[in-house]
Structure 1
Amino acid sequence: MTTVTEKPAAFDRRLLAPIMIGSVLNPINTSIIAVAMVPIATAFGAPASSTIWLVSALYLATAVGQPLAGRLVDTYGPRPVYLAGAVLTASAGLVGTFAPSLGVLVAARVILGLGTCAAYPAAMSLVRSEGDRTGRHAPGAVLTMLAVTTQTVAVAGPALGGLLIDLGSWRATYAINIPLAAACLVLGAVYLPRRAPEARAVPRSLDVVGIALFAVALLGLMIFLTVPRVALVWLPVVAVLAGVAFAVRELRCADPFIDVRVLAGNRPLLATYLRSLAGYTVSYAYVYGFVQWLQEGRGLSPSQAGLLLLPTFVTGVLVSLVTGRRPQIRGKLVVGAVAQIAVSAAILLIVRGDTPVAVLVAIAVVAGLPQGLVSLANQNALYAQADPTRMGSSAGLLRTFGYLGAIVAAVATGQLFGERASTTGVHELAVFMLGAATVFLVLTVLDRSLGRVGRSDRDDVSERGGRGGPGGRPRSRTAA
């Protein structure tokens, strides 16, 4: 009897272009504004306390929109959600390019946040589908490329923004979204499957009440964090009440927006979400706060400040490419946390108004280590820990926690800097970053489940065979 060995199916590489270009929209827009805030404030005569809404508006929209987009992906498949997001992104680019006031710019950032949050959960859902189709539990090369486009490329945003401002004006930082969104529309329409393999034939009903309660709870909390005033102290109360109502609703709902029961029973996934929050807090405090200081405290131009982040970008990409194929993640997270602590300490102890550029470049290089390690490791952890049938919403929720960290970073930057990014302010920000990085390290060291992520598929299948996937659900593998 002759045994025929079939060649393993390969990942559909036609999906790579729309996945990568779509996934880069959100991180580029979250960071490109860092060098545009000062020129925008000058153009409209607005203080830093007002322009911070350019940052917060996108994060507020994205934090709510990410899990919603993920749920829509799980329900209707990636293609329609991806294409709708591209249309919204192009619209936001047009509105921002011709905006007559700061208020219209903030509105454009809200639309931009909703539009750009669609691609990542769609990408993770497609990667999971292809992983099941090809029989590869974790397609490491594709996940590495996705991590590079979703986090590491964000560091290139300030450099791109500085170049665009020098060539045109701050309006070009909005206009760039128009050709990028057009590319997403064309590539998505041509290459994305019309129906994801795992999507159901009949769309599931959306938990509209659960979505509304989730939005109220999250917005109440984040608006108060953005504008922490005594007059708005009622917002956290509303957030808590809405959160309790949300939990009760989801426990009783047959097809909930977020399966609270399964999520609560999946402690490793919860730990991954918390690590994402802490890691993003440090990362975006560096990107926003340090870049503002480079302009106002060190006296550099927007393009020069952006260029000083290029070593962070290059280091992050190289680290991701070198370590991406290694499935183990615990060591990556530990090294990333230690590097964040080192960068924070360096800003606190070394950075002054006359610090040599060579020293600033050295700090930027060290900052590239966590950029290349942390996002990739958390993403791979989620891929292994999340329920495959809810990969889109789980991925969206990961981004929500990350952008909650970005909101915290933006608020801390605004409060510590005040009207101007002084050297004293950046030192105070460094103390804040040091605390967040220490929390990140503690969360990593205490999480014993990380040692199980990255085992061979055989060990993973054997272990899951006796207890099912996260929350006790069995995880199926589709034969190639």
Structure 2
Amino acid sequence: MQARSRWLMISIGLGIMLNPLNSSMVAVAIPGIQQAFGLDYTTVSWIIFSFYISSAVAQPVMGKASDLFGRRRIFLAGLVVAFTASLLAPLYPSFGWLIALRIVQSIGTSMMVAVGMAIVRIHIVEKQSTALAILSIFLSGAAAIGPFFGGLLTSSWGWEAIFFVNVPFALLGFILSWKHIPQERSTDSASFLREWLSRIDLPGILLFTAGLVTLFVGLLCIEKDGQIEVTRIVLAGIGLLLLLIFALYELRINAPFIPLRLFVRYPAIIRVNTEFMLANLLFYAVFFGLPSYLQQIRGINELHTGMLMLSLGVCSLAISPLTGTWVGRHGAAPVLRTSALIMVFGSAGMAVLQPESGLATILFILAAFGIANGLNGVAMQAALFAAAPKEVIGVASGLFNTFRYLGTVFSSLLTGIVMSGSFNSGGFRVLGFALTGIALFLTALSVRKRAK
């Protein structure tokens, strides 16, 4: 690979790693944020919701924007947005401002993820598969080390450090990207903005976002002091109604935000996306729930929590190369069945976990979900390729990522509901039982559909 290509890879890698890094570092910082603002667990979980809902909306939108405004512009703009949000977020005294800037940070980092791979595909012609594999390492590696990195930062400088650490990365990324990403043709921004606004499904985006947020607000606080809140039930009902209207609207228009008609034409895609959503729900319920358990129930500090969580990422990265060989020889089906079974055992481990349980049990849970995540990362993608014809694979892949984010969001929703405002040992075991049930359902779904 030429020196020019290597510098381009470093420039893009520094940018795209900010999204998974920021989504994972916060796992260890949640108890610190909760204490700093005097919040219950249900409320502080919006630090997770806001990031993933924003990413689910921003990535496809910014991908379309890059076709009109240019990928270089979108990438550089994403670095500026991420830099600004990360610098300002810890300086605001209210949790509402922190959430607002967390959303802005998510949009900025999503801008880079949406176009980073495309820039490499266009401008690196030699050893392109190697280049794309390196970018995947930036993405998966950042997610894997995020909890450890977050634990190291928060134990030394407090939760604010997980925001400030983005500043040098974004600044260096901007300098390198400005220098090494090739220039594109100039455009009339005003006319292209009008065209872009006419091409994106703004009503669909607003209905999708409003429906999810309203549903979550209703469900998260549906019970207060042992009493069911009628207004929260109404809110949840409104959220479901908005999502129903969204689905009906998306089925009628020509260029929908989420192409639901693809499900009608190719039912197998529904199956794969449902499994992918459930797998991510299981994984991220552990990814975000276990650090709070370790810190708030077991009294383990941020640094040691991050070190324990690192085992999850290491197991995931270590199993991925072997998974590729397994899928290549035997297909995705046996891999996905194995992954679902492993998550059953990992979830059952959570269900029987006691405050006095040894670290071996915790490491078993982390290893189980790490291995399962590594198996799913390759096998789910292979299952999607088998289910979606070549002519729709681009749209199907975008939809696939949307379901990844939905699984993550639903994992935090489930955890927030189970904990009911206060993270406790009993609630964590209930979460384990709930995840065991979901993992058993995923196993049955995997076996049943491939037995046909």
Question: TM-score when scaled to structure 2?
Answer: 0.82
Q: Distance in 1 between matches of 2:392 and 2:12?
A: 18
2:438 to 429, 436, 439: 436
Q: Distance in 1 between matches of 2:357 and 2:54?
A: 37
Q: Distance in 2 between matches of 1:321 and 1:295?
A: 32
CA deviations 1:323-351 (Å, max 9, x no partner) are: 346544333322222221111112223x2
1:246 is displaced (CA, Å) by 3.7
Match of 2:189 in 1: none
1:162 to 151, 159, 162: 151
Q: Distance in 2 between matches of 1:343 and 1:153?
A: 23
CA deviations 1:382-425 (Å, max 9, x no partner) are: 46666778777654433332222222221222232345433222
Q: Which amino acid aligns with 1:103?
A: G
SS of alignment partner, residue 277 of structure 1: helix
2:205 to 207, 211, 218: 211
**Do structure 1's residue 360 and structure 2's residue 362 form an aligned pair?**
yes
**CA 1:174–1:387 in structure 2 vs 1: closer, same or farther (change >3 Å)?**
farther
**Do structure 1's residue 21 and structure 2's residue 23 form an aligned pair?**
no
1:282 is displaced (CA, Å) by 0.9
Match of 1:37 in 2: 30
1:431 is displaced (CA, Å) by 0.9
**CA 1:70–1:307 in structure 2 vs 1: closer, same or farther (change >3 Å)?**
same
Q: Distance in 2 between matches of 1:384 and 1:59?
A: 27
**CA 1:332–1:63 in structure 2 vs 1: closer, same or farther (change >3 Å)?**
same
Q: Distance in 1 between matches of 2:397 and 2:61?
A: 11
**CA 1:238–1:82 in structure 2 vs 1: closer, same or farther (change >3 Å)?**
farther
**Do structure 1's residue 411 and structure 2's residue 413 form an aligned pair?**
yes
Q: Which amino acid aligns with 2:232?
A: L
**CA 1:282–1:128 in structure 2 vs 1: closer, same or farther (change >3 Å)?**
farther
* Greater relative contact order (CA < 8 Å, ≥ 6 in sequence): 1
Q: Distance in 1 between matches of 2:287 and 2:235?
A: 28
**CA 1:74–1:19 in structure 2 vs 1: closer, same or farther (change >3 Å)?**
same
**Do structure 1's residue 233 and structure 2's residue 229 form an aligned pair?**
no
**Do structure 1's residue 101 and structure 2's residue 101 form an aligned pair?**
no
- Which structure carries more helix by proportion? 2
1:31 is displaced (CA, Å) by 2.2
1:283 is displaced (CA, Å) by 1.0
Q: Distance in 2 between matches of 1:72 and 1:442?
A: 41
Match of 1:468 in 2: none
SS of alignment partner, residue 117 of structure 1: helix
Match of 1:458 in 2: none
SS of alignment partner, residue 45 of structure 2: helix
Give matches, 1:75-474, under 5 Å. 78-123=71-116, 125=118, 139=129, 145=134, 148-151=137-140, 153-192=142-181, 205-228=199-222, 230-324=230-324, 327=328, 328-349=331-352, 351-382=353-384, 394-448=396-450
Q: Give the fraction of aligned pairs with identical amino acids, expressed as a percent.
A: 29
Q: Are the counterparts in 1 of residues 340 and 442 from structure 2 also a CA contact under 8 Å?
A: yes
Gaps of 5+ in 2: 186-191, 223-228
1:293 is displaced (CA, Å) by 1.0
1:294 is displaced (CA, Å) by 0.8
**CA 1:301–1:244 in structure 2 vs 1: closer, same or farther (change >3 Å)?**
closer
Match of 2:188 in 1: none
Q: Distance in 2 between matches of 1:88 and 1:386?
A: 35
State the Cα RMSD in Å. Answer: 3.6
**CA 1:52–1:209 in structure 2 vs 1: closer, same or farther (change >3 Å)?**
closer
Q: Distance in 1 between matches of 2:391 and 2:182?
A: 18
Tell me whether 272-281 or 151-160 shows the greater mean CA deviation.
Answer: 151-160
Q: Which amino acid aligns with 1:303?
A: L
1:158 is displaced (CA, Å) by 1.8
1:236 is displaced (CA, Å) by 4.3
Q: Are the counterparts in 2 of residues 35 and 161 from structure 1 also a CA contact under 8 Å?
A: yes
Q: Are the counterparts in 1 of residues 295 and 302 from structure 2 also a CA contact under 8 Å?
A: yes
**CA 1:411–1:215 in structure 2 vs 1: closer, same or farther (change >3 Å)?**
closer
Q: Distance in 1 between matches of 2:69 and 2:270?
A: 26
CA deviations 1:100-121 (Å, max 9, x no partner) are: 2222212221112222223333
Q: How many residues are treated as equivalent by the alignment?
A: 431
Question: TM-score when scaled to structure 1?
Answer: 0.77
**CA 1:243–1:46 in structure 2 vs 1: closer, same or farther (change >3 Å)?**
closer
Q: Distance in 2 between matches of 1:337 and 1:419?
A: 29
